[in-house]
Amino acid sequence: MINASVRSNPSASTSQPKIRYAVVGLGWYAQAAALPAFEHAENSELVAIVSDDPTKRSEIAKKYGIEHTYSYDEYDRLLASGNIDAVYIALPNHLHCDYIVRAAQAGIHILCEKPMAVSVEECERAIAAAQDNNVKLMIAYRLHFEPANMHAIEVIRSGKIGEPRIFNSVFCQQTEGGNSRLSATLGGGTIEDIGIYCINASRYLFQSEPIEVFATSANNGEERFAEVPEMTSAIMRFPGDRLATFVCSFGAAKVSTYQVIGTIGDLYVKPAYASCGEIEHKITIEADTETHTFGSSDQVAAEFVYFSDCIIHDREPEPSGAEGLMDVRIIRALYDSIATGGFITLNLPQRDRRPSAAQIIERPPQQQKAELINAADPAGNN
């Protein structure tokens, strides 16, 4: 386990210690975003990959110069090898808890994609494993380091739009049949995979936790939506009688926006949850609108830089297991609402740490689109 006493600075020179990572799961997102991100994560090093696809292992190892490759059956051997300090878990949602716990028990730090797990009980088990074995557990909320979203928090805190009263968000995309996001068995679903962005954004923008939620789902009857709903709409009541609403869909055109409406103005962000490309703020006060554009950056590289810095300097990451658990509690309450047709009351603890502009880390955007090996974009884009 790395423990180094060097000055805390995510932008420090390459002479600082490097955290050695294994990427576990080589699906679309891992190949398109995570593997290329190590180029711009100066305190992080990609040294191992895990997949049951021998073609992926062979071709990706060759492309990135990776010496250590493992199948899923060999995961525990990897954890005990001494070759890695941390794992980045990019597996289907239903596998997250097991792979977190096994890594923690081996003394390996964990960066896991969201949602953290498929149930509250699994989240609690994963958190306990990390605490019992004194390892870092971070959930991959990349927007907690992204300039446009973190500056949105500061706009609201400043009082520029008055008292924030309403949050409204739409996050939609077309998802092709056969993708794991459309499999209930694998922990997929609209709320888990894209609605979680809306939930998390409402929480960091309102700087509090919902006290009551309601949700309903709809389905156009297409075969691809046999296991999970095509779309979900939710209402969340926050303290101070503030309301957050969102709609997320796997069967509609690509849209990613949110709007926070205050007592004297509003902030509109588009594309709010984009993983690359420019993001735009529009702030309107009465008839006057000002626009700010935030340039593209490598958001996953920023995650790796931040998490590695936490490991090196023995700091608890902000989007910790507790943050992941909070969203899963809300997700499960939304499903309870869908099942019962009524509002569900929540009694969630307040977070003592929340993301802010102080966490912004910018790294150059990836210049080339990664060539996928035996993987496909869930939206069917080439």
- Tell whether 12 is covered by a domain: no
pLDDT of residue 381: 63
- Tell whether 121 is covered by a domain: yes
pLDDT of residue 185: 86
Four-CA torsion 343, 325, 187, 238, nearest 10 degrees: 30
Q: Which long-range contacts (CB under 8 A, 24 or more apart) does 105-108 make?
A: 105/129, 105/133, 106/76, 106/79, 106/80, 107/1, 107/133, 107/134, 107/135, 108/79, 108/84, 108/135
Q: Which residues, including other chains, have CB under 8 Å from residue 330's CB and lie 6 or more apart?
A: 199, 210, 213, 236, 346, 348
CATH classification at residue 94: 3.40.50.720
Q: Say how far apart CA 364 and CA 327 lie, in whole Å.
A: 29
Q: Which domain holds residue 208?
A: 147-295+320-353
Q: Judge if 109 and 180 occupy the same domain.
A: no
Q: Judge if 59 and 182 occupy the same domain.
A: no
Q: Judge if 180 and 329 occupy the same domain.
A: yes
Question: DSSP class of residue 224?
Answer: G
Tokens at residue 46, please? 């990609």
Task: Domain count for the chain, please give it.
Answer: 2
Tokens at residue 300, please? 């996953």
Q: Judge if 268 and 341 occupy the same domain.
A: yes
Q: Say how far apart CA 222 and CA 229 lie, in whole Å.
A: 10
Q: Are 261 and 157 in contact (CB under 8 A)?
A: no
- Tell whether 8 is covered by a domain: no
- Tell whether 46 is covered by a domain: yes
Q: Judge if 326 and 178 occupy the same domain.
A: yes
Q: Judge if 129 and 171 occupy the same domain.
A: no
- Tell whether 4 is covered by a domain: no
pLDDT of residue 331: 98
Q: Please give the single-letter amino acid code of residue 159.
A: G
Region for residue 330 given its phi and psi (left: phi exceeds 0; alpha: psi -120 to 50; beta: otherwise): alpha
- Tell whether 263 is covered by a domain: yes
- Tell whether 6 is covered by a domain: no
Q: Which residues, including other chains, have CB under 8 Å from residue 181's CB and lie 6 or more apart?
A: 175, 188, 189, 193, 228, 250, 378
pTM for the structure as a whole:
0.93
CATH classification at residue 195: 3.30.360.10
Q: Judge if 281 and 184 occupy the same domain.
A: yes
pLDDT of residue 380: 62
Q: Judge if 304 and 324 occupy the same domain.
A: no
Q: Judge if 240 and 276 occupy the same domain.
A: yes
> How many DSSP H helices and E strands does the chain contain?
11, 15
Closest by alpha carbon to 226, among 183, 194, 174?
A: 183
Q: Say how far apart CA 37 and CA 99 lie, in whole Å.
A: 22
**Which string of DSSP letters, residue by residue, matches 85-146?**
SEEEE-S-GGGHHHHHHHHHHTT-EEEEPSSS-SSHHHHHHHHHHHHHTT--EEE--GGGG-
Burial of residue 357 (number of CB atoms within 10 Å: 0-12, 13-18, 19+): middle
From first to last of the 382 residues of the chain, give the pLDDT tens digit. Answer: 333 322 234 444 446 789 999 999 999 999 999 999 999 999 999 999 999 999 999 999 999 999 999 999 999 999 999 999 999 999 999 999 999 999 999 999 999 999 999 999 999 999 999 999 999 999 999 999 999 999 999 999 999 999 999 999 999 999 988 888 888 888 889 999 999 999 999 999 999 999 999 999 999 999 999 999 999 999 999 999 999 999 999 999 999 999 999 999 999 999 999 988 999 999 999 989 999 999 999 999 999 999 999 999 999 999 999 999 999 999 999 999 999 999 999 999 988 899 999 999 999 998 888 889 998 888 766 5
- Tell whether 136 is covered by a domain: yes
Q: Tens of pLDDT along 278-334?
A: 999 999 999 899 999 999 999 999 999 999 999 999 999 999 999 999 999 999 999
Q: Which residues are catalytic?
A: 114, 197
Region for residue 178 given its phi and psi (left: phi exceeds 0; alpha: psi -120 to 50; beta: otherwise): left
Closest by alpha carbon to 311, among 22, 43, 37, 12?
A: 43
Q: Judge if 312 and 205 occupy the same domain.
A: no
Q: What are the backbone angles phi and psi of residue 139, rounded to the nearest 5°?
A: -100, 140
Q: Judge if 211 and 233 occupy the same domain.
A: yes
Q: Judge if 152 and 233 occupy the same domain.
A: yes
